[in-house]
Chain A
Amino acid sequence: MALPSYAGPLETFWYYAFRVFCGMVFIFLISPLLIIIPLSFNVEPYFSFTEGMLAFDPDAYSLRWYQEFFGSERWMNAIQNTFIVAVCSTILSMILGTLAALGLSRSELPFKGMIMGFLISPMIVPLIISAAGMFFFYSSLGISQSYLGLILAHTALGTPFVVITVTATLSGFDYNLVRAAASMGATPTYAFFKVTVPLILTGVISGGLFALMTSVDEVVVAIFIAGAEQRTVPMQMWAGIREQISPTILAVATLLVCMSILLLSTVEYLRRRSETIRGITPH
């Protein structure tokens, strides 16, 4: 979008003002994530830059909060819990979500709109309402304050992402490929695993990553239905921010930012790969 050669001074002014404005929005978007990285190496227990840090004095920086994080049994326990819950709920969401998306993509399915509405409802209903409802219901079933309850809840919250991504992948799916496989003697199961799965796999995985991120980041439902034993990383952060605010939170936050960079790269890689596979050139 270069400035056209016929642009007058006013248009030139607007052009640069627009770019400066956009630059500021990008700074607004990214700086909160970057600012916590140096702050997490603060030697003092503050949330702000000390004079030593601004002077790049090596003594003003330390790994103190990272040591505290990795040395804390609570945090390590929280990581373990988050991992267990996230992995189980992601696998469940991927299986249930993919099957449902395969059904939803068939034109023969009756009441499609209504079914889709129910399936994606966990994404639309505000989390506080889901949390309140699940609190009552899971308590009455006796599965609140248990891993099972939390896994089921996170699975419910994660499935809409899998359903949506896989349905989107299937919308460009050429069913003639499956028919071709069948015409050459493949059983439906064989054709499914050899033809359908490789083609929709990228959608399944990126949906799964959304579900994973939902579970790893989810705190509202967790504080309502998990007990002290199932304390997850977000719950621990939530408690940390509310009670004693220490830079350990920032160390955790920095690690989580690194994790999101990793996840983002994976999703982007998968997206491009899926576009290449389906013959859509990146636009």
Chain B
Amino acid sequence: MMATTVEAEGQLTPDEQKRLTADMHRSLRRKKIRAVFLVAPLLIFIMVTFVSPIATMLFRSVDNPQVSEYMPNTTAALANWDADSNELPDEATYAALVKDLVVGRENHTIGKAATRLNYEKSQMRSLLTGTARKAGRLKPPYKEQLIKINNGWGDIDNWRVIKRESSPYTLSYYVAAFDMETTPSGEIRMLPEQQRVYLQMLWRTVWMSLLITALTLLLGYPVSYLLASLPMGIANTLMIMVLLPFWTSLLVRTSSWIALLQGQGVINDILVWFGLVSDDNRLSMIYNATGTVITMTHILLPFMILPLYSVMKTIPPSYMRAARSLGATPFTAFFKVYLPQSVPGISAGAILVFILAIGYYITPALVGGQTGQFIGNMIAYHMQSSLNWGLAAALGVVLLALVLGIYALYSRLFGSNNQMTLR
């Protein structure tokens, strides 16, 4: 149809030409609509079941409803109070506080506000809940009575915390996620060295992931080279040894490493049997950082080999032979000719392994002990045990930003190769 249009163009009247153009536009639009309709169901599905949950979580890291919602009168009263004034709030604010405490105790909501404030300053929880128990019996004027019940109410810093957290949005979860604290006067500063947790954890996650990436590259590069240069039949057979772990459950591989590495495990037994290690001095290779690194290197190795192999497969072996025939030593030929051509495979594999490693949770939790935990484990801890969901969300955002940043950098540098996990 296209061909006839072009040929006949000269003979068409302007009217016919216009009609033809309109027809073509219509047909193109119909095709476009059809394509959109095909993609729409999945796009909507992913938006609802996946993207919006993530967005909700992002929002949760700055969402701060507890104080303003459960202590509305105090929040309103504090709006007029100048936190820098070095003066305690007025009697009206204390009256508002008593009102909130009484209502909050009846509705069992004061605990939520108290927990929220306790993240910012310890002892805030007991200050609020303790006072709430007695607040019902108080008669005005309240200010002095409250200070008598708990002199925390005479501490201007406590009021500053309440005022600060009465805002419906907060950055304080991020402040905590970066091991910082807000001083009572509102300045943000680093926590003392020994109290820093998350930055250290993040740093450990990054360097252990880098170590794992380096190890998978070290082990995977020669193997991919071998597989790419062997005859097809043998290479396919050996490929099974790469693909079988790839297709095997993560938990299976983790539990078999427990069987191999633990104190009474297979490797220690062998070492003892050979007399390399004495029986009462068995190596501790698991429930620490070593366990995490060994197990994750094994789990992620196929993700390095597969992209490397697919790139190396496209490098003609004659290039190396040509280099040799021109007098290059095997090492020169490899470093000057082969290695540069395999760089796309190295980068794809390394980025993939690093992105996967940095977000790991299951394996570090099972074999990592104290020293082999990742930032993902910290997120899970705050989700399930400490129930500090805001902090879990903030840590999640930091991790997500890191992963997406690396992925974006990779797509920018090497073009978006979406097939990187698959051959």
Q: Taking beta carbons and an 8 Å cutoff, which residues of A are in contact with B? A: 1, 4, 11, 14, 18-19, 21-22, 25-26, 28-33, 35-36, 39, 46-49, 96-97, 99-100, 102-104, 106, 108-110, 113, 115-116, 118-130, 132-138, 140, 152-153, 155-156, 159, 161, 163-165, 167-168, 210, 213, 216-217, 219-220, 224, 234, 237-238, 241-242, 245, 249-250, 252-253, 256-257, 260-261, 263-264, 267-268, 271, 282-283
Contacts and interface: CB of A to CB of B under 8 A. Distances in A.
B142 interface: no
B57 interface: yes
Given A19-B226, A136-B60, A260 B42 contact: no
A29 B251 contact: no
A26 B248 contact: no
B53 A109 contact: no
A70 to B, nearest CB: 18
Contacts of B392: 132
A264 B247 contact: yes
Contacts of A260: 244, 247-249
Contact of B46 (A19, A121, A137, A261): A121
B403 interface: yes
A159 B362 contact: no
A66 to B, nearest CB: 15
A238 B251 contact: yes
A156 B38 contact: no
Given A48-B269, A109-B32, A128-B380, A25 B222 contact: yes
Interface of B: 28, 31-32, 34-43, 45-47, 49-57, 60, 219-220, 222-223, 226, 229-230, 232, 238, 240-245, 247-260, 262, 264-266, 269, 298, 301-302, 313, 317, 324, 330, 355, 358-362, 365-366, 376, 379-380, 383-384, 389, 392-393, 396, 399-400, 403-404, 407, 416, 418-419, 421-423
B interface, over-half SS? helix
A219 B251 contact: yes
B251 A217 contact: yes
B42 A35 contact: no
Given A29-B241, A32-B298, A155-B45, A115 B254 contact: no
Contacts of A115: 39, 43
Given A100-B38, A137-B56, A32 B46 contact: no
A249 B31 CA distance: 53
A178 to B, nearest CB: 13
Given A156-B49, A267-B247, 20 more contacts: A1-B229, A4-B324, A25-B301, A29-B302, A33-B253, A103-B34, A109-B36, A109-B39, A122-B46, A126-B360, A128-B376, A130-B53, A133-B54, A135-B383, A159-B46, A164-B421, A210-B422, A217-B249, A238-B366, A256-B252
B46 A132 contact: no
A118 B251 contact: no
A181 to B, nearest CB: 17
B263 to A, nearest CB: 9
Contacts of B226: 1, 18-19, 22
A28 B261 CA distance: 13
B362 A103 contact: no
A97 to B, nearest CB: 6
A203 B243 CA distance: 18
Contacts, number: 275
B43 A100 contact: yes
Nearest 4 A/B pairs, CB to CB: A126-B359, A103-B38, A137-B53, A133-B53
13 contacts: A22-B226, A33-B248, A103-B37, A106-B34, A110-B36, A126-B399, A129-B399, A134-B50, A137-B52, A237-B249, A241-B255, A257-B244, A257-B248
A4 B404 CA distance: 46
A47 B298 contact: no
A26 B222 CA distance: 11
Given A47-B258, A103-B36, A241-B254, A25 B404 contact: no
A96 B393 CA distance: 30
Nearest to A93: B42
A110 B36 CA distance: 8
B383 A264 contact: no
Given A110-B36, A132-B396, A136-B389, A220 B361 contact: yes
Of the candidates A108, A129, A159, A283, the one having the most CB atoms from chain B within 10 angstroms of its own CB is A129
Nearest to A113: B416
B70 to A, nearest CB: 19
Contacts of A156: 45-46, 49-50
Contacts of B383: 132, 135, 224
A33 B42 contact: no
Nearest to A96: B42
B389 A48 contact: no
B292 to A, nearest CB: 15
A161 to B, nearest CB: 8
